Chain A
Amino acid sequence: MSKKTMTLNLTEAEMSALEALCAKKDLSKIGLMRQALRLYQMIDTRVERGGKLYFEDDQTREKSEIMML
């Protein structure tokens, strides 16, 4: 499969967040960006089909909807 290359400029805070997530998830930066894209596309598609995205509190069962922009 042919691959394309791009340069990504991040602020220091964004890079710190990226590195922290990489360490937490045991992923490389490329791996993490790829996962983020897959997940974002999946969520966007589901929302476009009429689905809703929300978090549910395990204790209270209270739901808070996430708005996709």
Chain B
Amino acid sequence: MTSYSVFIIDASLRQPVEAELLDTIGERQLLDWQFQWRRTLETYLRRLAENGVTRQGLNWPQSWHWDWRAKVDEVRGLLGHTGYSVICRDVTQGMMRLDLASRTARLDEQAGKPLVYIDYLEIAPWNWHESYADPPLYRGIGQVLIRTAIQRSFDEGFHGRVGLHSLPQAVTFYEHCGFTNLGTNPNEYRGLLPYFEITTEHTRTFL
């Protein structure tokens, strides 16, 4: 396991704060998810329900059912998958699972070439900037993880190419990161999740 120093933003102080980027999702992160993320999420979902937001509503978090332990177990020991986590003040603030092997690029200028595919990316619920949620504690975690995926793509010789399917609630975030929206496909994820990809050229502006 390797640890890197990164900076995220303390949202209340509006100041950068040092955090740790790990090239793994370890048991410690899964325990944080199980006992801290889920508790905050349950409180938030209760608040949504009290305010009349239903599971089908636009404000209901679309990753509410994600089970990170299952996601990590599913690919344990596979060379083509890896994970990263961001830790700040001893608590996991974000996690990402990558597929390094089984996806290829779709944009015309890089079609058929290997890329890093982001299987899942999520930040801790107390960092969400959403209606009915408490103000976020930290910002910039998603950007750190995207930058990490791009850097991994360069390290693998994939020239920064990264792809992913986005939850509809995260579309704006990926557009701001410089990804191109290639739209939905009825044969993928029931046609609900648009596919995004970033080119080598666009990664340079993001990095």
Contact = CB atoms under 8 A, between A and B. Distances in A.
Contact of A38 (B2, B101, B112, B157): B101
Contacts of B81: 42
B101 A26 contact: no
Contacts of A1: 2
Given A31-B157, A39-B101, A42-B101, A25 B112 contact: yes
A35 B114 contact: yes
B79 A38 contact: yes
For the residues of B in contact with A, the DSSP-based class is loop
B134 interface: no
Contacts of A39: 80, 101-102
B101 A35 contact: yes
A41 interface: yes
A24 B80 contact: no
Interface in A11-65: 24-28, 31, 34-35, 37-39, 41-42, 45
Interface in B64-81: 77-81
Contacts, number: 38
Q: How large is the interface on B (under 10, 10 to 19, 20 to 34, 35 or more residues)?
A: 10 to 19
A25 B161 CA distance: 12
A38 to B, nearest CB: 4
A27 B161 CA distance: 12
Given A27-B157, A31-B156, A38 B114 contact: no
A34 B157 CA distance: 11
Given A28-B157, A31-B157, A45 B78 contact: yes
The 9 closest A-B pairs by CB, nearest first: A38-B80, A38-B101, A31-B157, A38-B79, A42-B80, A39-B101, A26-B113, A41-B79, A27-B157
24 contacts: A1-B2, A25-B112, A25-B113, A25-B114, A26-B113, A27-B114, A27-B158, A28-B157, A31-B156, A34-B156, A35-B101, A35-B114, A37-B79, A38-B79, A38-B80, A38-B100, A38-B101, A39-B80, A39-B101, A41-B79, A42-B79, A42-B80, A42-B101, A45-B77
